[in-house]
């Protein structure tokens, strides 16, 4: 049996997107604070820049995944398309709510202000875990066997 991809640009974008999120959210972010000489303020400043860039790249990947909708008529909504809508919802929540909240909190810490505990970081990590799981489903569904 021969395998073929439904939309190669979608599959490539999804798997690259997964790689970016895993590398930055689950590797770079925790490791930077273990580097010699990195203070919490410096680490948070770096994190602000890196996560803003990641968010921009994620929107580019999202547009690439959505590209077949602009060039083909969709007759029926598939499971992977519904799962991707969940990914878009997560990305919107991260962009308009979680990242601004985390940026505000990071800025307060950088300015040596007292900050209270917050659930926003846990929500962001949980959203990334869910996003990677959903993207994996979308990517695998792009491979037809």
Q: What is the DSSP string of the chain?
A: ---EES-HHHHHHHHHHHHHHHHIIIIIHHHHTTSTT--HHHHHHHHHHHHHHHHHHHHHHHHHHHHHHHHS---S--HHHHHHHHHHHHHHHIIIIIHHHHHHHHHHHHTT------SHHHHHHHHHHHHHHHHHHHHHHTEE-
Q: What mean pLDDT is reported for the chain? A: 92
pLDDT at 78: 83
Percentage of the chain modeled with pLDDT above 70: 94
pLDDT band for position 130 (50/70/90)?
very high
CB neighbours of 129 closer than 8 A, spacing ≥ 6?
A: none
Over 80: is that where the pLDDT of 6 sits? Answer: no
- Return left, alpha or beta for 118; rule: phi > 0 is left, psi -120 to 50 is alpha, else beta: beta
Q: Mean pLDDT: which of 29-33, 123-127, 137-141 is highest?
A: 123-127
What would the mean pLDDT of 54-82 be, rounded to a whole number? 87
Question: Domain residue spans in the chain?
Answer: 4-144
pLDDT tens digits, one per residue of 11-42: 999 999 999 999 999 999 999 999 999 999 99
Task: Tell me which residue of 134, 139, 143 sits closest to 14, measured CA to CA.
Answer: 139
> Cβ-count burial of 94 within 10 angstroms (0-12 exposed, 13-18 middle, 19+ buried)?
buried
> Tokens 């689950």 map to which residue?
26
pLDDT at 77: 80
pLDDT at 1: 47
Give the up-direction half-sphere exposure of residue 45: CA atoms within 13 A in the CB hemisphere.
8
Is residue 44 within 8 Å of 109, Cβ to Cβ? Answer: yes
pLDDT tens digits, one per residue of 71-80: 766 677 888 8
């Amino acid at each position: 049996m021969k395998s073929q991809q439904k939309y190669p640009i979608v599959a490539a974008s999804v798997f690259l997107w997964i790689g970016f999120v895993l590398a930055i959210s689950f590797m770079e972010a925790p490791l930077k604070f273990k580097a010699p000489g990195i203070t919490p303020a410096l680490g948070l400043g770096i994190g602000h820049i890196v996560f803003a860039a990641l968010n921009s790249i994620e929107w580019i990947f999202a547009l690439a995944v959505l590209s077949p909708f602009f060039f083909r008529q969709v007759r029926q909504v598939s499971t992977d398309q519904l799962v991707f809508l969940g990914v878009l919802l997560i990305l919107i929540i991260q962009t308009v709510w979680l990242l601004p909240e985390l940026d505000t909190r990071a800025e307060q810490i950088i300015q040596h202000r007292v900050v209270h505990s917050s659930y926003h970081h846990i929500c962001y990590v949980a959203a990334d875990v869910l996003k990677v799981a959903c993207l994996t489903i979308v990517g695998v569904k792009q491979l037809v066997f």
